[in-house]
Amino acid sequence: MMDTEEMYDEELIADVVENLRGMINLGIDGDAISQSDKYIVNITLIEKDKPKKYRDPLWLHDAYVVQGRSMQDIGKEFSITPTAINQWLVKLEIPTRVHKRITNAQEE
């Protein structure tokens, strides 16, 4: 017979499996959170063979300059840091925007 804690753990496990199954079936990379009273499970699903478009100068220029996406937003799409995106922008000689917090601090 299961005690209450084991029952909660089984419900959490079922929720994690359901989240993963849904993400895989829909082809969604990203994060999902499942939680119980005792645990929080952060699930990150990343397709291993996903093309690294951020290394393509035309794609990165379009995403960052033309579309105005942030380094954080682009990085999140590929599960890498904004710093890594910044390094690719510099390497590919794509001009970066000045961060608003830096601009505001310089004005004061």
pLDDT tens, position by position, 27-67: 777 778 888 888 899 887 777 777 889 999 999 999 999 99
pLDDT attached to residue 96: 95
6: left (phi over 0), alpha (psi -120 to 50) or beta: alpha
What is the rounded distance in angstroms from the CA atom of residue 85 to the CA atom of residue 36? 35
Q: Which is more confidently placed, 102 or 81?
A: 81
- Total-model pTM: 0.53
What is the rounded distance in angstroms from the CA atom of residue 40 to the CA atom of residue 32? 11
Which of 16-20, 38-42, 99-103 has the lowest average pLDDT? 99-103
Furthest C-alpha separation in the chain: 66
Which amino acid type is present at position 54? Y
